[in-house]
Amino acid sequence: MKVRSPGAVFFLPIITLGIYAIYWYVATKNDLNKLVEPKVPTAWLLIVPIAGWVWIWKFAGSVSSYTKGASSQGTTFILLFLLGGIGQAIVQSSINKTAA
C-alpha cells in the first residue's frame, strides 16, 4: 500500500478543485483491491448519486479489512461521507499506520 501524506490528501483537493480527491479514491481503491477482500467496484459509480454512497460503503469495508478493524467500516464511511477532505486525511493516516 502506498503511503501518502495526510496533509497532501487534505490540501491537494482544495488546490485542484476536487480532482485530487477523485484521484485519491481511485488510487487507494486500486491498492486495496490488490491486497484485501472485499473488492471495491469501479470508481465510475462515484458519479451516480445513490450508487456513489454504496461505493463509499464498499470502499470503507475494504479500508476496514486492510486496517484489520482499526478503522471500522461505519466510522470510515461517516468520515468520508460527511467530512470530505478531512475524512480522507484521517482515513489516509490510519492506512499509513497499517502500512508501516
What is the dihedral sign for C-alpha 26, 89, 7, 13? positive
Is the CB of residue 46 less than 8 Å from the CB of residue 25? yes
Grid cell, residue 67, equals 486496517
Residue 60 has a pLDDT of: 95
What's the average pLDDT block by block, 10 residues per block, for the chain (100 residues)? Answer: 93 95 95 91 90 94 93 95 94 92
Residue 28's nearest CA partner among 9, 13, 11 is: 9
Residue 99 has a pLDDT of: 87
Residue 15 has a pLDDT of: 95
Residue 63 has a pLDDT of: 95
- Domain definitions of the chain by residue range: 6-99
Residue 22 has a pLDDT of: 93
Is the CB of residue 56 less than 8 Å from the CB of residue 86? no
